[in-house]
Structure 1
């Protein structure tokens, strides 16, 4: 699907069924979402540039992600999408400055694009050309990334309370509960790792954008680009801090699982020690020797039972006195 946007935010759908002879002069942004081969060919003929394919966008070489060709600037950044689900991921988005227009090529729907489209007509000074659209879009992407990290912090704080529990509660959590929290920790780690990769990609792109002559000639865009770069740097440091907290939470969860398992093993060990003396008494009187005085004793059976109970209670209260239970 191809959608064009004017400076005032009006949207125009471009279709291969009725291809236009030329692009409208007031179109400042053309957004290609999962374009087909026919749509790529149509835009290439209208813009006079080569539209990168999905495989081109996946190229990780910096020289293949940031370059100038055919009098156009080609840039690729990795953005986080599906951040609100259990399987967040990265999608590669192409940004092309072709003359006074911005062309974006993407095969997913990062939420930042929806937010930008909703407010495209409300930016101060308007979005008069592709450079302004690009810097404003990058600002929205940075804001959305900050929101993703903020939401991750809130969820990690809640998970930390679940792992460590309330100080006023002495209730012991089973190991299965903590093992389930480990899966939650892994999900948060995946989201933060994807966000850090995205921030690194955006940092390289912004450094490249700042050196473009069109950006240097526009004072507002130049200052906005510098501001976004500082924000990206701060977000990268914050993401590293969150990643450290997740690592601590992971280690703490594993340690608590070991503590709970050791407590269970300790209970079985103490139970075996407590039951050992009664077993010894029962074993002695279970021997079939001919000469055993207690066999003819009228109170032998109650005596054996009392001896077994007493031999179990003595070590039990001893362990309680020592604080081992």
Structure 2
């Protein structure tokens, strides 16, 4: 559906244009451009909007296709800029992604949104309160969108970091419980987050570095700023991924150590039980000639020997840390 559509002249919204065709005609006027936003549009809505601005069919395919990687493509004077959006459900500790497909021309910008994350109503409102900045044209709008999306990246990274720190503390706690399942689950979410944001680096660099006729020089510092912010988010994500890998290795090492301790403990008790069992087995054979059976002190001596031997074994195992 069409969320909002408006024509802007010198950075100020014009309300009297009420049709796409009229908007397309007026957008060619000096210092004017159209801004149209769509969310989960139907195919007919896309044909109506994109057709009104003579956008090529291949671009329409991009607008229909969801789950694309971030990219920058040029088709004549129209730039297609795809941005992945990210939404984090803190209750489920899960990442879901969407995308924004932006069609940018000197006279218009059309933004198609699929999936979760980064509603752009606030972007339009904020930019309309900055007419001097909005007067720089469609690339000023794209900057506002990117700034909003990358700011969401930063917030989500902070939420993910809280979960990473929490699970790291659990791994190194006194609990004998294994946390590998939780680490794997969180690592999967971090990887999905990385796959959503990292591909945006190259298109953003290309947009700023390559010479473009309609790209205002005044916007370059702003784009460099959000590019730096994106790079920091990517570094943050890489750091969390590495931290989870280390936590997983530590958890597996702790499990292995615990298993070794259990094996040693069982072995020690088996040894303690084996010695009296061996002695009892010998005397249970009922040989005819066993002189100590007739000896007055034979029984207490055997019992004392068993207790002493077991006590010595227990002492040695305890000292070695096996018990």
TM-score normalised by structure 2 residue count: 0.78
**1:57–1:92 contact (8 Å) kept in structure 2:** yes
CA RMSD between the two structures: 3.3
SS in 2 for 1:78: strand
SS in 1 for 2:234: helix
User: For the structure 1 residues 223 and 295, does the alpha-carbon distance in structure 2 shift closer, same or farther, using more than 3 Å as the test?
Assistant: same
Taking the aligned partners of 1:300 and 1:95, their CA distance within structure 2 comes to 97
User: For the structure 1 residues 222 and 42, does the alpha-carbon distance in structure 2 shift closer, same or farther, using more than 3 Å as the test?
Assistant: same
Taking the aligned partners of 1:89 and 1:54, their CA distance within structure 2 comes to 19
Matched, 1:228 2:220: no
Taking the aligned partners of 1:194 and 1:319, their CA distance within structure 2 comes to 49
What CA deviation, in whole Å up to 9, does each residue of 1:107-151 have, x standing for no partner? 2112xx22x423532345144543222101101111111112222
Taking the aligned partners of 1:108 and 1:227, their CA distance within structure 2 comes to 27
Per the alignment, residue 289 of structure 2 pairs with 291
Per the alignment, residue 261 of structure 1 pairs with 259
Taking the aligned partners of 1:301 and 1:105, their CA distance within structure 2 comes to 93
Per the alignment, residue 22 of structure 1 pairs with 21
What CA deviation, in whole Å up to 9, does each residue of 1:9-68 have, x standing for no partner? 99x9xxxxxx956365698433333322222222232222142346755566x9xx4222
Which has the higher mean CA deviation after the structures are superposed, 239-248 or 75-84?
75-84
Gap runs ≥5 in structure 2:
28-32
User: For the structure 1 residues 22 and 306, does the alpha-carbon distance in structure 2 shift closer, same or farther, using more than 3 Å as the test?
Assistant: farther
Which has the higher mean CA deviation after the structures are superposed, 279-288 or 294-303?
294-303
Taking the aligned partners of 1:195 and 1:83, their CA distance within structure 2 comes to 13
Taking the aligned partners of 1:200 and 1:36, their CA distance within structure 2 comes to 29
**Counterpart mapping for 1:131-210 below 5 A:** 131-165=139-173, 171=174, 173-174=175-176, 177-178=177-178, 181-210=179-208
What CA deviation, in whole Å up to 9, does each residue of 1:214-254 have, x standing for no partner? 3335x1x3221111112122222232222222221121111
Matched, 1:3 2:8: no
Taking the aligned partners of 1:306 and 1:102, their CA distance within structure 2 comes to 95
Taking the aligned partners of 1:153 and 1:143, their CA distance within structure 2 comes to 15
Per the alignment, residue 130 of structure 2 pairs with 125
SS in 2 for 1:48: coil
Gap runs ≥5 in structure 1:
13-18, 166-170
Per the alignment, residue 111 of structure 2 pairs with 104
User: For the structure 1 residues 215 and 256, does the alpha-carbon distance in structure 2 shift closer, same or farther, using more than 3 Å as the test?
Assistant: same
User: Residue 52 of structure 1: which of 34, 40, 61 is its match?
Assistant: 61
**1:29–1:102 contact (8 Å) kept in structure 2:** yes
Per the alignment, residue 249 of structure 2 pairs with 251
Taking the aligned partners of 1:254 and 1:240, their CA distance within structure 2 comes to 21
Matched, 1:214 2:220: no
Taking the aligned partners of 2:38 and 2:299, their CA distance within structure 1 comes to 91
**1:88–1:190 contact (8 Å) kept in structure 2:** no
**2:85–2:99 contact (8 Å) kept in structure 1:** yes
**1:281–1:307 contact (8 Å) kept in structure 2:** no
TM-score normalised by structure 1 residue count: 0.78
Taking the aligned partners of 2:192 and 2:68, their CA distance within structure 1 comes to 17
**Counterpart mapping for 1:8-87 below 5 A:** 22=21, 24=23, 28-49=34-55, 50=57, 51-53=60-62, 56=65, 65-69=71-75, 71-82=77-88, 84=90, 85-87=92-94
1:284 positional shift: 1.2
